[in-house]
Structure 1
């Protein structure tokens, strides 16, 4: 029975680790989605600007004048990077969910076989 308990403990720890990994990935995706929305807002503001308006970039406590093409390029680059990272995290989340489901099934099977073994021992004693 001790071997069964050790196996159950190991599966339980693996399951918990997978759940933590999933939580971390979901948290990262949420942060990226917030950054994506922020950058989409900036992109919309660029569209509202007239050609002769000045764009400033906040660097530390200082506002520096920035070229419009450079600013738009930076925001577009960020959006592209964020989109790629969100896709990567979505894949990671799906894979982790599949691993969690598999581990959960392993735990259920082990519990079922442990219960059957315990019932078999009870029947032998009776």
Structure 2
């Protein structure tokens, strides 16, 4: 009888640990979504800047805000900087997508493991009720 209650306690402890792991994964997924949203907004802003830069004549004055000061910048340099930024943000978004997919797969397997432990607890309790 005591080995039965010990086994049940072990299963409940295992269930609690898996639930905590699942909770951590869900927090990581939410954090990932927030970061992805931020990068998506930045990507849109930079693409808009690039479109504006493409509309300018080659002899147009371009200024970059550095702290509280506007500093004159070469159009080609500004264009290259914006393109590099877009490239970087796009790469980060791809990395975040891969990370998110991995986290969601882990979340799915944790849920499956939790269901299995819950079923074992239920069958254990059902067996105990019959005895």
TM-score by length of 1: 0.96
Q: Pick from 40, 46, 67: which aligns with 1:33?
A: 40
Q: Which runs of 4+ in 1 moved over 4 A?
A: none
What CA distance in whole angstroms lies between the structure 2 residues aligned with 1:39 and 1:22? Answer: 26
Aligned-partner Cα distance in 2 for 1:36–1:120: 58
Whole-angstrom distance in 1 between the partners of 2:58 and 2:94? 34
SS in structure 1 of the partner of residue 70 of structure 2? strand
1:75 maps to 82
Q: Structure 1: which 5+ residue stretches go unaligned?
A: none
Deviation at residue 6 of structure 1 after TM alignment: 0.8
CA RMSD after TM alignment? 0.6
Matched, 1:14 2:4: no
* Aligned counterpart, 2:60: 53
Which residue is 1:117 aligned to? 124
Provide the aligned length of Structure 1 versus Structure 2. Answer: 124
What is the distance in 1 between the residues matched to 2:109 and 2:129?
Answer: 30
- TM-score after normalising by structure 2: 0.93
Secondary structure of the residue that 1:50 maps to in structure 2? coil
What pairs with 1:70-109 in structure 2 (closer than 5 Å)? 70-109=77-116
CA distance in 1, matches of 2:75, 2:59: 10
* 8 A contact 2:12–2:121 mirrored in 1: no
